[in-house]
Chain A
Amino acid sequence: MMSNLAVLPIIIPLVSGILLAFFHTKTPFVRHAAKLLSVISTGVAAYVFYYVLQNGTVTLETGGWEAPYGIVLVADLLAVTLVLTTNIIGLACIFYAPHSLTEQKEKFYFYTFFFLLITGVSGAFLTGDLFNLFVFFEVLLMASYALITLGGEKVQLRESIKYVLVNLFSSIVFVTTVAFLYSVLGTVNMAQMAERVQEVEQQGILTTIGILLFFVFATKAALFPLYYWLPKPYTVPNPVVSAMFAALLTKVGVYSIIRMFTLVFVHKMEVTHELFIWIAGFTLVFGAIGALSTNNIKLVIAYNIIPAVGFMVMGVGIYNQTALSGSVYYMISDMIIKAALFLLAGAVAHVVGTPDLRKMKGLIHQLPLLGWLLFISAFVLAGVPPFSGFIGKLMIMQGGFADGEIAIVIIGLLSSLLILYSIMKIFVRGFWGEKDESITIDKKTVTALTWPVAFLVFFTVLLGIGAEMFYPVVDDISNQLMNPEIYIDSVFKE
């Protein structure tokens, strides 16, 4: 079905970002306008999601140039689900931002960068064109460079240079890979690529190019052994920025892996997907180890991004419908909980004045609600029922067992324990114990910082207890992923 709806989740944040740039000095106005625009954007995303759920994939041939020649946007269920999740996270962040940022930063185009980041992310989810995906990667990366350096503190610049350079490198490889693929397949339209790769049964150089493309996305997704750039740089910007990064950027990488390796490169699974399982295993282990290696609570959470990505890629590697459903479910859950955790850690560090766990104790007396939200989050992350992390992990691991992938599932179970321990350490050492009288809190700020966290944690609980409501959507998504012809037909057979 052809409809302009597909482009709305890209255009609205783009226009919002540009509009807000004009009023950047009028802080109170911009704050309220940003909230309003974010609500509108979320509302539209919700409508597009609903529409796609009811009517099937919506496509848009931009500029009226028919596929595969022009750029086609493909709003399939996976894409719109992720777009909606992105907007919900954005909503929480936009309400958190004024209480966390200095007014200076807000004046210097924070909200513009923020909305353009959303533009890039939504675009990456929605596009059906590999080169256009590269362009949206550039948009979101450039916005992220702007956000990570906003403020220009010494430590920020030192860490972000690593972030920027590694990502620039992977962008170069990305565009080179697109060129290679164009040379072989003569197209950059994903649906047509899928058709053509199938036609030649992914022979010759194609698998190699596929793996190269995988490494491009794996670098963004922070898989083993490519994630070095991630942990530290994620701890230096404002928590609101870290939360957006943690929730969205790595997941765009995971999304791209899912898209390319369920749609296009699916004919040499014994090579590609087997490799994913190995990489997922190492990612799980090393990520969890990293999370235990530090006393900086922001860094603990940053490291926790890594094993979660490992779980998602594990599902892709296993590649059956159960496991893929699990990957998608886990991805949605993880986007939300990671955002929540970064906002939470930011609020805690804000109150205590440092993210160093060794300087915290008895915070439950001052921050009871945040403490319990952290407690719940630990179980969401570890995959304990009835929270959302469990549903995703359960399906991934069931899928693994069904295909006889015993070792990776057991690694998954053990890493869950380590993940739980890494967060529980924060709860026990930081929140339990004697009250620290030297810490005083500003109740109003704390409340304002707490609600967005609670809002997000609420969703993860809902996704767990109410899994039956969401499961059909995810099942539908994985069904589409397992049957690439659905995607191809939606692009070509109109």
Chain B
Amino acid sequence: MLFAVLLPLVLTLLIPFLSKFKDKVHTGIFVFFIPLGIFIFFVRFIGEGFSPELESYPWIPSLGISLDFYLDGLSLLFVLLISGIGALVTFYSIFYLHKSEKLAHFYVYLLLFMTAMLGVVLSDNVYLLYTFWELTSISSFLLIGYWNHREGSRYGAMKSMLITVFGGLSMLGAFMLLHVITGVTSVQQMIGSVDLILSSDYLPLIMTLLLLGAFTKSAQFPFHIWLPDAMEAPTPVSAYLHSATMVKAGIFLVARFSPIFHGYEWFFIVVSGIGIITLCWASYMAVRQTDLKGILAFSTVSQLGMIMAMLGFGTEAAVFAAVFHILNHATFKGSLFMIAGIIDHESGTRDIRKLGGLMTLMPISATLALFAALSMAGVPLPFLNGFYSKELFFENSLHIGDTTLWIASFLKQAIPYLAVFGSIFTFVYSMYFLFGTFTGKQKLEQLPKKPHEAPIGMLIAPAILVFGVIFIGLFPNLFNETFLAHAAKAISGEDTHEHIVYWHGLKPAFYMSLIVVAFGTLLYLFRKKWWSIYRAIPGSLSFNRVYNGILKGLDVYTAKLTKSYMNGSLRRYTALIVSTIIIVTGLVMAGTNGFTFKTDDLAPVTIPEILVGIMVIAGAVGTILAKNNVAAIIILGVSGYGQALLFVFYRAPDLALTQLVIETITVALLLLCFHHLPQLSRRTEGAGFRLTNAVIAVGFGTLMTLIGISAHSSKWFTAISDYFLETSHDLGGGDNVVNVILVDMRGLDTLFEITVLGIAAFSIYSLIKLRSKEGE
């Protein structure tokens, strides 16, 4: 399995080389054999005796991340879809994409996607699953942006990435919580620890995070908005990623984790609730679209909602129906996308308002579309697979399990009505798509190209899918025991033995189908009469506006917010930094009872000391109040000389000397600088500004003083300086301890302080020289 998953990835390395020959051989031909090979490899697993297989390779075992691949019925269904549809789409793309396009890019992204998607459905390790999950988002982003010279393409790509990566990250959150709770990273082992999970306090959070991942990926309401914009991608991509496979990853995720949440009622409420809302909303919205692919996009959203709803029902029969519909949807929707692509390719437009009457010009496409669209509509004919799954859906919507919460009971009552409502619109848009394109008046003058039937190569892939529609329709039970039952069992955990029949008798489900057809036909025929309802609902409301609003808001408000405090004023920055330090440190000091004050080891304070102290303080205050820069510097000098005097009192003549020298030089240097600087008067600031600054300055001074006093009052240990005094002569060879400390005991400090001075000197030199040299 590892080989199968990585095979497309490995081939991406060869694509740049293979694409060199694209003038002679279309690159797609090489690629075609990859999904085909994978399909053939996996199709042999179909059979009644199938049992799940696990393959494991180490990757980052220390973090519980390993390449665990698990093939059960559910993954097998998806693997066959991915590789089967993948082969057909690649084949189709050979005719769809002209050799002048950047084929190498296209196929590299496509192969990247295949690996990613196969990885998603085969991973048993949650982190591996997440890795592949994000890789599907990335490859989808690249494919939507394939024609990135178009604005819409870039917009759609970014939108899909943001929404699906948002979901992915939230899913990662769920996975981490599950890992922390269960201590394992394997999905199957997590299912084994279901009791641990269900009894966890985090259960609602886990479910929410997980479902956010699923709903965003599977374009469920209200996250569906990215899918219509994803239609900017080349049509083979839409057929493949955005209809048959990637968008079903969310379905897969819900199915995969169903065994864990099965007994949790909120799971039913959220999954079925959102699913059924999605079904109704998207099918309603599909009728409004004018772009063929837009109709299909909304249709895909609504069908995904239907599958999601059935997974939420959770009954064995509903799960089986969901699995059955995953397969059916892939067949009819895949073929419809390809036909939409053909129409676009041959007529130059996908705008349904310009199309019409193509039946006579494109008879084969029309025939294929007829079967696929009728199947999608769920028309009760015994050779359309869509009808069977629709009928199963109705039946299961009437047989939801027991509920206890009132909201669940309410939902249970409402679902059958909503199911019918959604299906009526499904019928309408199917007819709209079919008849709007192929019947009615021809408007050839509005088309960029004169339409004609597509080349045979392009028709083969949709024909095979339509064949699938009819074949499954004729023999709906053919794969039950060998294939679908295994998939259903993987989800519901129970052995499933469903038998699908065409004629159920006069049961409610059949009446529901009749209502759908009757009302659907009426609504379609009189659609011009009620069309104006779209002006009321949704009117100008749309979730796109929410998304655009958020992005715009991010642009505008992040800039506003950031500019509001990053205003470039150093005074402002310092004020903010110092205030933060005062507040937080002050609070910590108060909270931890940090302040202590002891006077027992203080020497008596003499009058000269007090006088010098006053001098230092006066100097500091005077500096601030001085009107003139030169005066300020000189007054500041008073403070410095005062400190030097204090050193003299405390019998540190060397320090006093140093201080004196520093003060003298600083004052002299500053005076020299000001001589050369232009005469700047001090800026006069408002009283409020000065008051704030005064408060901050005094606050910081107070804080440092309090900490200083406390630190002095908390001498709990003998200082290491005693050792210096003792050993200075014997070990250091000097009687001036300070000197020995500087050059020997802490010589390293001195070495690097000298380095600092050296750097400063070089820096100043180059600052002066380089400027004058470059003539500024």
* Interface residues, chain A, with chain B CB atoms under 8 Å away: 14, 21, 62-63, 65, 68-71, 104-105, 108-109, 112-113, 116, 119-120, 123, 131-132, 135-136, 138-139, 142-143, 145-146, 149-154, 161-162, 165-166, 169, 173, 176, 179-189, 192, 196, 200, 204-209, 211-212, 215, 219, 225-226, 228-229, 231-232, 268, 271, 275, 289-290, 292-294, 362, 379, 382, 384-386, 391, 394-395, 397-398, 401-402, 406, 409-410, 413-414, 416-418, 420-421, 424-425, 428-429, 432-434, 467-468, 471-472, 475
Contact = CB atoms under 8 A, between A and B. Distances in A.
Nearest to B137: A384
A402 B127 CA distance: 17
Q: Sorted from nearest, which 9 A-B pairs have the closest CB atoms?
A: A146-B763, A186-B719, A108-B766, A432-B148, A205-B710, A293-B562, A228-B573, A385-B131, A208-B594
Contacts of B62: 467-468, 471-472, 475
Question: In this complex, which of B58, B170, B596, B763 has the most chain A Cβ atoms within 10 angstroms of its Cβ?
Answer: B763
Interface in B676-725: 704, 707-708, 710-712, 714-721, 723-724
B13 interface: no
Contacts of B566: 228, 231-232, 290
Contacts of A143: 759
A402 to B, nearest CB: 5
A152 B718 CA distance: 49
B103 interface: no
A299 to B, nearest CB: 10
Contacts of A413: 169-170, 172-173
A71 B588 CA distance: 31
B505 interface: no
B715 A184 contact: yes
Contacts of B199: none
A150 B774 CA distance: 12
B558 A293 contact: yes
B766 A150 contact: yes
Contact of B714 (A205, A219, A229, A467): A205
Contacts of A150: 763, 766-767, 770
Contact of A205 (B131, B711, B756): B711
A184 B588 contact: no
A218 B750 CA distance: 26
A471 B63 CA distance: 9
Given A162-B570, A186-B715, A402-B180, A294 B749 contact: no
Nearest to A62: B748
A478 B593 CA distance: 32
Most B CB within 10 A of own CB, among A211, A294, A424? A211
Contacts of A136: 752
A232 B766 CA distance: 23
Interface centre among B568, B588, B589 (most CB of A within 10 A): B588
Contacts of A165: 570, 574
Contacts of A420: 161, 165
B531 interface: no
A416 to B, nearest CB: 6
Nearest to A278: B584
B643 to A, nearest CB: 15
A292 B554 contact: yes
Given A208-B592, A417-B165, A468-B58, A289 B570 contact: no
B149 A176 contact: no
Contact of A180 (B179, B554, B708): B708
B201 to A, nearest CB: 9
Task: Decide if the interface of chain B is mainly helix, strand, loop or mixed.
Answer: helix
Interface string B544-587: 00000000001100110111011010101110110011001100
Nearest to A105: B770
A70 B745 contact: yes
B158 interface: yes
B145 A108 contact: no
Contacts of A69: 720, 723-724, 727, 745
A398 B126 CA distance: 13
Interface string B182-216: 00000000000000000000100100000000000
A164 B224 CA distance: 50
B762 interface: yes
Contact of B720 (A186, A211, A386): A186
B747 interface: yes
10 contacts: A113-B759, A113-B763, A139-B759, A150-B763, A176-B704, A185-B716, A204-B714, A386-B131, A432-B154, A468-B61
B745 A293 contact: no
Contact of B180 (A112, A185, A401, A424): A401
Given A151-B770, A187-B719, A63 B744 contact: yes
Contact of B594 (A71, A154, A207, A406): A207
B166 interface: yes
B36 interface: no
Contacts, number: 288
B285 interface: no
B232 interface: no
A449 to B, nearest CB: 22
B712 A183 contact: yes
Interface of B: 58-63, 65, 127, 130-131, 134, 138, 145, 148-149, 154, 157-158, 161-162, 165-166, 169-170, 172-173, 176-177, 179-180, 202, 205, 554-555, 558-559, 561-563, 565-566, 568, 570, 572-574, 576-577, 580-581, 584-585, 588-589, 591-596, 704, 707-708, 710-712, 714-721, 723-724, 727, 731, 744-749, 752-753, 755-756, 759-760, 762-763, 765-767, 769-771, 773-774, 776
Given A166-B573, A433-B148, 5 more contacts: A70-B745, A113-B762, A271-B592, A289-B562, A425-B158
Given A21-B762, A200-B716, A204-B594, A184 B711 contact: yes
Contact of B759 (A116, A166, A395, A471): A116
Contact of A112 (B169, B593, B762): B762
Contacts of B763: 109, 113, 142, 145-146, 149-150
Contacts of A432: 145, 148-149, 154
A472 B712 CA distance: 44
A226 B581 CA distance: 9
A166 B774 CA distance: 29
Given A152-B767, A394-B176, A413-B169, A208 B589 contact: yes
A176 B581 CA distance: 14
A424 B157 CA distance: 11
Contacts of B715: 183-184, 186
A112 B762 CA distance: 9
A189 B720 contact: yes
Given A228-B573, A229-B573, A417-B169, A135 B749 contact: yes
B584 A401 contact: no
A268 B594 CA distance: 12
Contacts of B580: 215, 225-226
A65 B162 CA distance: 59
Contacts of B746: 70-71, 131-132
A18 to B, nearest CB: 8
Contacts of A293: 558-559, 561-563
A65 B749 CA distance: 13
Nearest to B746: A71
B776 A152 contact: yes
